[in-house]
Every structure is written in C-alpha cells, then in structure tokens.
Structure 1
Amino acid sequence: MLDTLMLSRIQFATNVSFHILFPTITIALSWFLYFFKLRFDQTGHPIWMRAYRFWVKIFALTFAIGVVSGITMSFQFGTNWPMFMETVGNIAGPLLGYEVLTAFFLEAGFLGIMLFGMHRVSPKIHTLSTLIVAVGTTISAFWILSLNSWMQTPQGHEIRDGVAYAVDWFEIIFNPSFPYRLSHMLLASGLTASFFIAGISAYRLLKGDDKQAPKLTLKIALTVAAILTPLQVFVGDLHGLNTLKHQPQKIAAMEGVWETEKSAPLLLFAVPDEEAKTNHFEIAIPGMASFILTHDFNGEIKGFNEFEGKTPPMAPVFYSFRVMVGIGMLMLLIAWVARIQLARRESLPNWMLKALVAMSFSGWVATLAGWYVTEIGRQPWLVTGVLSVKDAATDIDPTNVGLSLSAYLLLYAVLLVAYLHTLFTMAGRAVEIEEITEQEKAQQAKSTLALNS
C-alpha cells in the first residue's frame, strides 16, 4: 500500500510531467511564428503566411492544453502540500504572482489578436501581437524557473519562527542556479519545438504533401536544431559545474559515485544497488567523470555516502540523466546529418524523413528526463535546507489522494491521445492552396524576392 506522501508525490509528478510537455513546445514555437510572420511582412511571399497559418493553429491547440493543465498544479499546493505555502509562501506567492501579472496577462491579452485579428488590425499590429505573445511565454518561463531554482539553491531570505521571509529579492530571483537552469530550459524548448516542427513537416512530405511550405519549415527547423544542440551541450556543462558546487549529492547520484574519489570514471552504463552501496555491470571510461565535472582528470567528486540521510534515490536520477544525455546526443547527430544532407540536395530521402517523424517528440523525452533529474535529485528537500518533502505533505487519508490521482491519470491519457490524434489529422489534411487575402496580395506585390533571399 502506498502512503499519502508517496501518492502525493506521484500525483504532483503526474501533473507537472503532463503540463511541461506543452509549454516546452509553445515557448519556442511562438518565436518560430514571429519569424514566419516577420518574413512575410518583409518579403510578401505567401509561403511564409502558409507556414504561419498552419503552425499558429497547432500553437493555439498546444497553448490551450498547457494553460488548463497548469492551473491544476496550483491547487495541489493547498490540497497535497499545505506546508509549502505556510513555510515559503512569502517568497513563492509573489514569484507566482509576478508570472501572472507580467506574463500570463500579456499572453492572454494579445493571443486573441494573434489568433483572430489578422484581418481586423494592421499587419504591423498583428506582427507586434505575435512578438508580444512570444515575449510573454519567455517571461513566464523566467518567473517559473526563478522559483524552481530558488527551491534548489535558496538565498536572499531569512527564517523566523519556521517561516521564510524575503530579505533581498534580487538574490532570490537571481539565485546561484537560476541563470543556468533558465538557459538550459529555453534551449530545451528550442530543440523540442525544432524537432516537433521538423517531424510534422517530414510527416506531411511522407503523406505526399509535396509542397513548398513543409519543405521550408523543415529546413528552418533543422537549421535551428543544428545550432542549438551544441549550444545546449555547452550550457549543460556549465549547469553541471554549478550543480557540483551547490548540490554535490545530486551529482553523486547522477554519476553513480558512492565513495569520494579522484579521477572518477564516467559510467556509460551501470545498475546502482543502494542496499549494497555499489554498482553492477559497469561500463566506464576511466577519469572522464572528473574531467567533465571539474575539467581535471584528477578532480575530486564527493561520493553518495558522504551525504547519509540527505540524498535522493540514486537509481531514478542515474537512469534519467543517461536518458537525457542519450537523447541529446541523438538529436545532435540527426540534426547535423539531416541538415548537411539537405544542404547537398533539395530533399531528404524517405528513411531520413521517417527518422525525423520518429524524433518528433524526442524533446519531450529529454525534457522529462531532465526534470526528473532536477526534481528527484533535490530529495529529500522540497526547498533545499529549508523544508523537507515529508514536512510539507498533507496528512489526509491516502484513499482521497489515490482517487484524485486515478482521475488525473485517466484524464491526461485521454487528453494526450486526443492531442496527438488532432495534431496528425491537421498535418494529414494540410493543403497548399489557401485563400490569399487582399492584404497578402498587396504585400506580395511589394516584393519579388526569391524564397532564399
């Protein structure tokens, strides 16, 4: 039988896992839409508007599910984790409030113009609205990641009678892990959206949609992916150095290091055994973990056993980290191979298009694995050194949590299937010839630039 604490943890993990799928797409997809609209304004070429019209529908669908699924998470602060707001509400409350005031209202206000105002406002106002929505999604990520990072590496506060009070908001917002976590997440969104666009575009081509719009979006998405993948590797390295400094127990779990050692090996594969405090079936590269984390082959990494009683479960952190890195390396390989192939010829072979379709949601897998590393790796703390997960949890009957968890699982399964079905139905029915408005004709007449200009 699962107790209330474990059921509450599973329920929140379910909610955040489902929710994060959609903002991970929309944050970067909004910037792709702005680029498509801006290029249409600059060139007048209708292909940019066709790309915009198709992807703005997918953005609206994805954005809607992301907003609705995000609302349910806030309820759980009261139902499942009452001591969270009791203890750190003076800090978490304002940060969440700033997100609503500066981002959500901005998105909601201009999203209507972006979706329904194309023929009701001037082209400049419509393009500006698209830009504001993109800025709003990014600001939203800023505040959410600021709070999450503060929970990982808290500073700028003081504890009085068991309650956290803000002392320095600048230190709270820009806490030690925030710049790395925000950069890592924004790049993850860029990669998720890039492979999402590339995969759906490849699907359209495989379905016989031999038109210019999906070819154009495929080329743009692969170009962005080829640029962002090595940049993500670089930022990930910086993030790892920061985590080693502030959360060494998380690094020990990620790397499967039990005893403090120098020249620690990089474990490509292993089966951690927490009871025996050892690894089985190790496949390792000597000294490489120390080199990656400290940039010194003889660098020291603190072992898991150094933090007795204050460590996360090793296995899920260890495996999730390898899934994240493995998917990331696969994305790097496919992005560069496909982009080079596309540079040499006008189209990709069917096997490559099928590979891209298979990678459509690879960003989801990598993002979820990364979040599991981040959140499970923080255990047993909810706010590091301030509030433990156990102390924050509700004490209601586990049956109540189990029933709500079952309802969430059923609902999310239905929504996810419906989303994927709608998505691929839209892609399968996409058409090349669309009605061109007088506005588009006027802009097209202003420029006869070639597509690659």
Structure 2
Amino acid sequence: MDIDYILISRIGFAITASYHIIFPSLIVGLIFYLTTLEALWLKTGNEFYRSQYLFWLKPFTAAFIVAVITGVGLSFQLDTHFGNFYRTTVDILVPIRHIELINSIFLEAGSLGIMLLGMKRVGKKLHFAATLIMTLGLLISFTCIIARNSWMQTPDGYGMIDGQLVLTDWFSAIINPSFPYRFMHMLVAGLLATACFVLGISAWFLIKQRELVFARFNFRIALIVIAILAPMQFIIGDLHGLNTKQYQPMKIAAIEGLWETTNGAPLVLFGIPDQNKSLNHASLEIPKLASIILTHSRNGSVTGIKAFPEKDWPSISIIFYSFRVMIGLGLWITLVGLMGCYLMYKKRLYTNLTFQRICVLALPSGFIATIAGWIVAEAGRQPWVIYGLVRTADVVLNISSDQAIHSLTLMGIVYGLTCIGFIYALRRIVIKGPELAGYLSH
C-alpha cells in the first residue's frame, strides 16, 4: 500500500473533521439558548424574548445546514478512504451510525421545518414542542457521535471472532470508560464556544450603538455563562485527563512532552519536541507539577514516551502544541468571563469600549479551542483507529495517491464554499439585526 496515500487520507480527514466540529458545537449550544428564550416568551408573554429567539434562529439554521453538508462529507471520506473501518466494526459502530442518521432525518429535519414555519402558523405550544424535539434530537446525535468516538478511544463491550469485532454488551460499548468524561467535556466546550459566539456578536452591536437593549441582554448572559462554565471546564478536563492517563498513557506522555518515565515529573509549559532525538529543545518547566496534576502527589510516577514501542508513537509535536493552544485559549476565555463579571459589578460593562473590542476578538476562541482539543484526542490515538486493536493503516483502502489528492482538493473546494456561504449569511444576519419593533420593554 502507498504510504503517501495513508498520510494524505489522514490529513484530509483531519481537516474536514476539524472544520465540521465547529458547527455541531454551535448548534448544540444555540439550541439550549433558543429553548430557554422561547420558554421565557411563553411564560412571560414578553415579545422581547420572541424577537431574541427569531434572531438567533437564523445563525442556528445556517450552522445546521453547514453541519449537514460537512457531516455528509465526513461520511463520504470514511466510505471512500477508510472503507475497511466500518467493515471491521460493522456489528458495533454501524448501528450507532444508523441511529444518528434516522434521528437526523425524522427528529431534527422535521422539527426544524416547524421551527422555521413561524409561531403564528403552527401555534405557540406546537412551535415550542418542535424546539424541544430539536433539542432532544441534537442530544441524541451528539450522544451517538461521542459514543462512537469514545469507543474508538477506549473500546469495551466487544469480542473478537475470526478477526471481526463483535458486540457482546451494548451498555458497555456505549457507556465505555471514556464516554462520560468526553461527553461532558465536549458538551461544555460547545456551550462555551456558543457563549463566545453570542458575546462577540453582542459586543459588535454595543460598539456600533445598535439595538442596545438586545445587545446588553445577550452580552450579560454570555459573560455569566462563560464565568460559570469556563472554570468548570478545567475541572472536567482534569478528570478527563486522569481517565486518559489510565487508558491511554501514551497520549498523556505526548501531551506532557515527557520522554522519560519520571518520579516528580515537571510540567513542560513550553518547549520544542524533537521526535527524532527524543528530547525537548528550549524547555520551560515547573518542577513536579505534572506529577501533582496527574497523580496528586509531588513524587508520583508519570510514564514517559520512551516506555512505549516507537512504532506506536503518534506525532508528538502536534499533540504537544495543540494541547497548549486549547489550555491557553481556555485561560483566555476564563479571563474574559471574570473581567466581564468584574465590570458588571462595577457597573461599567456597557461603557468600556476596550473590553467590548476584546469580546469581539474573543468570538472564535471557543471554536479554536474545541478544534485544538479534538486534534489532541484524535492525533493522540494514532497510529490506532481503534485504540490497541486496529491500526489506521489497516482500514485505509488501497487506491492511488493521485486519487487521494483529487478527493482532498474536491473536499477543500466544497468546504471552502460552505465556509464562505456561512460567513456571508452570518454577516447579513448581523448587519440586518434583530426585529425588535413592538417588543415590550425589558
């Protein structure tokens, strides 16, 4: 098999998966906000909440459409580049994939149609029911995605018959060892990314002195959500890391940039990993902190990269740097949330132009952090497609590198067009602004 084709296929899938993850993160976060806004409107009768709902429904719909298109692209790549993957896991992952597909067609697509029809055409209660069904549908799809990915990271509930993976326990396969941690980590990541999205758009309205009641409401809510969830995400991430240390110690070693198994391991804040020489250049370290974080002991033992066969090493640099991008952005988002709460307390939140500009710049932070975390999870699993069981090279179809390049180019064009289309639609939505005429004072 042409090794270049394997590399090209992996690069192509990495790019498309990283791009795709933006939109499920956004729609999962927005659907919770939409449900809350519509519930408030039904309870209070205040048209302000209805106007809010109708505005945020527009970017939700645009993101939903792009998520569907990019999701189809991912399935296309799995079938045409990694066709042996589902043949190997047909008894386990294919049923979960079918549940997600059926759910998307019936629950999500059907409820979105009712949501877009408008409240006057279908009635308030039916419309709210459609929003709730959409929330349920997205949570089911989200659960299926995380269950599949988690099983690839920490497979459980399976047996092996004649080289074929077969299901032995549905519950163990879905609620596998890493599922609860990955589910919560990704859910909170989506909520935080959406809060940054809402924050950035609201800050833009404040800077432009437009729709100030609308902007102030969303600005305040987004900051409160960030201030609560960002610190919580570090706690969830720590628990997820401890789980990863137990089941995927190689990934943790790569994250830490730790080459030798060490008692009282230092935390490498920054360095330049050299995989050929098995060392870090220009390393900046805090003594014993990695052991404290990973073992809760100053002198705890942390397994190093060299403890594993070199043929099982992932790309250390990609994992090392991606993790630090994720953590750095997480700290940045936390700081923005805390700064906002401080200004709120001082009653200077809506008059501090510098902070508002910072919030506009923070708009993509949550999505970039999510992509970086996704790269850590997926690149850290390599060279395995199913950790410890099936290698990525074993599921790649044997076609030429030219075909792989053509496929990657085509996907790049399609995804590039969807990106341009989404940005164009979002720009029009924001410039037009919410339709607030006639709302009751909030």
TM-score range, shorter chain: over 0.9
- What is aligned with 1:200? 201
CA distance in 2, matches of 1:299, 1:135: 43
CA change 1:53–1:196 in 2 (3 A) is same
Corresponding letter in the other structure for 2:325: V
**1:399 maps to 2:411:** no
- What is aligned with 1:366? 369
The farther-off stretch of 57-66 and 119-128 is 119-128
Corresponding letter in the other structure for 1:74: S
Shift of 1:435: 6.0
The farther-off stretch of 115-124 and 48-57 is 115-124
CA distance in 2, matches of 1:75, 1:174: 27
Alignment of 1:230-241 (within 5 A): 230-241=231-242
SS at 2:166 equivalent: strand
Do the aligned residues in 1 keep the contact of 2:157 with 2:172 (CA within 8 Å)? Answer: yes
- What is aligned with 1:334? 336
Corresponding letter in the other structure for 1:320: S
Corresponding letter in the other structure for 2:300: G
Shift of 1:195: 0.5
**1:177 maps to 2:178:** yes
| Structure 1 residues without counterparts, runs of 5 or longer | 437-443, 445-449
- What is aligned with 1:354? 357
CA change 1:433–1:95 in 2 (3 A) is closer
CA change 1:433–1:13 in 2 (3 A) is same
- What is aligned with 2:383? 380
- What is aligned with 1:87? 88
- What is aligned with 1:45? 46
CA distance in 1, matches of 2:113, 2:133: 12
SS at 2:283 equivalent: strand
SS at 1:59 equivalent: helix
CA displacement, residues 76-96 of structure 1 (integer Å, 9 cap, x when unaligned)? 222101210121121110011
- What is aligned with 1:315? 317
Shift of 1:255: 0.1
CA distance in 2, matches of 1:153, 1:116: 43
CA distance in 1, matches of 2:209, 2:434: 11
CA distance in 2, matches of 1:348, 1:175: 49
CA distance in 1, matches of 2:430, 2:82: 41
CA displacement, residues 387-433 of structure 1 (integer Å, 9 cap, x when unaligned)? 10011111101101101111211222232133223212321221554
Shift of 1:60: 0.5
CA change 1:85–1:385 in 2 (3 A) is same
Do the aligned residues in 1 keep the contact of 2:250 with 2:308 (CA within 8 Å)? Answer: yes
Alignment of 1:71-86 (within 5 A): 71-86=72-87
Do the aligned residues in 2 keep the contact of 1:31 with 1:131 (CA within 8 Å)? Answer: no
CA displacement, residues 240-282 of structure 1 (integer Å, 9 cap, x when unaligned)? 0000000000000000010101111111100001111111101
What is the TM-score with the length of structure 1 in the denominator? 0.94
CA distance in 2, matches of 1:78, 1:61: 26
Query: Between the two proteins, what is the percent identity of the paired residues?
Result: 39
Do the aligned residues in 2 keep the contact of 1:99 with 1:143 (CA within 8 Å)? Answer: yes
- What is aligned with 2:107? 106
CA change 1:398–1:171 in 2 (3 A) is same
Corresponding letter in the other structure for 2:330: G
Equivalent residue pairs, number = 439
- What is aligned with 1:168? 169
CA distance in 1, matches of 2:131, 2:75: 27
CA displacement, residues 348-368 of structure 1 (integer Å, 9 cap, x when unaligned)? 411111111101111111011
- What is aligned with 1:447? none
CA distance in 1, matches of 2:41, 2:434: 19
- What is aligned with 2:131? 130
Corresponding letter in the other structure for 1:332: T
CA distance in 1, matches of 2:306, 2:222: 44
Cα RMSD, aligned residues only: 1.6
What is the TM-score with the length of structure 2 in the denominator? 0.96
Do the aligned residues in 2 keep the contact of 1:147 with 1:173 (CA within 8 Å)? Answer: yes
Corresponding letter in the other structure for 2:315: P
Corresponding letter in the other structure for 1:426: I
Do the aligned residues in 2 keep the contact of 1:225 with 1:335 (CA within 8 Å)? Answer: yes
CA displacement, residues 21-41 of structure 1 (integer Å, 9 cap, x when unaligned)? 101100011000111111111
Pick one of 404, 413, 419 that aligns with 1:416. 419
CA displacement, residues 177-207 of structure 1 (integer Å, 9 cap, x when unaligned)? 0000000000000000000001011112222
Shift of 1:101: 3.0
CA distance in 2, matches of 1:228, 1:173: 26
Shift of 1:97: 1.1
SS at 1:282 equivalent: strand
- What is aligned with 1:343? 345
Pick one of 428, 431, 438 that aligns with 1:425. 428
CA change 1:431–1:169 in 2 (3 A) is closer
Shift of 1:210: 4.2
The farther-off stretch of 72-81 and 249-258 is 72-81
Corresponding letter in the other structure for 1:335: G
Shift of 1:51: 1.0
Do the aligned residues in 1 keep the contact of 2:28 with 2:138 (CA within 8 Å)? Answer: yes
CA distance in 2, matches of 1:184, 1:340: 26
CA distance in 2, matches of 1:169, 1:325: 34
Do the aligned residues in 2 keep the contact of 1:104 with 1:140 (CA within 8 Å)? Answer: no
